């Protein structure tokens, strides 16, 4: 049960943060980063299995592999952006968090343009 490990890391980090915040609040960000890195390492196997499954399904169908790679990259950017935004908010830097969030959204939109263009081309071909 990987979820129990993830919850355990989260709860232990939370307890450490509460204790450390009383004495050295500047170190709480490090505890948060380490906990996030540990959780990311715990889910890497699951993420690689999902990517392998999607690649296998893509090879069996007529889906363009470039689009699949783009979707995986976009999903990764969304996860990393959310992680960074959460850390910024944890440290009280909501202004920086909103800028990171905006930057992530802009990058995601710019990366999705080939998929949107292909979809529009398909729609135009279908319409009389």
| Nearest-angstrom CA–CA distance, 70 and 108 | 10
Q: Read off the DSSP letter of residue 61.
A: S
Gyration radius from the chain CA atoms:
20
Q: What is the pLDDT of residue 65?
A: 78
Domain boundaries along the sequence of the chain: 64-128
101 CB-near residues (< 8 Å, 6+ apart): 81, 85
Are 10 and 39 in contact by the 8 Å Cβ rule? The answer is yes
| Nearest-angstrom CA–CA distance, 90 and 29 | 8
Q: Read off the DSSP letter of residue 128.
A: -
For the stretch 45-80, pLDDT in tens is 888 888 888 888 877 877 777 888 888 899 989 989
Q: Which of 10-14, 57-61, 94-98, 106-110 has the lowest mean pLDDT?
A: 57-61
Confidence label for 20 from pLDDT (cuts 50, 70 and 90): very high
Angle between helices 2-23 and 28-60 (to 10 degrees): 160
| Nearest-angstrom CA–CA distance, 28 and 21 | 6
């Amino acid at each position: 049960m990987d979820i129990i490990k993830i919850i355990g890391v989260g709860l232990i980090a939370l307890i450490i943060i509460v204790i450390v915040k009383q004495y050295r609040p500047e170190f709480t960000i490090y505890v948060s980063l380490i906990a996030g890195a540990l959780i990311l390492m715990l889910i890497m196997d699951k993420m690689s299995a999902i990517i392998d499954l999607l690649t296998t399904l893509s090879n069996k169908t007529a889906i363009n592999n470039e689009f699949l790679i783009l979707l995986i990259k976009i999903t990764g950017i969304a996860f990393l952006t959310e992680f960074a935004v959460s850390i910024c908010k944890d440290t009280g830097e909501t202004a920086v968090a909103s800028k990171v969030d905006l930057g992530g959204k802009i990058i995601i939109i710019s990366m999705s343009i080939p998929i949107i263009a292909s979809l529009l081309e398909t729609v135009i071909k279908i319409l009389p």
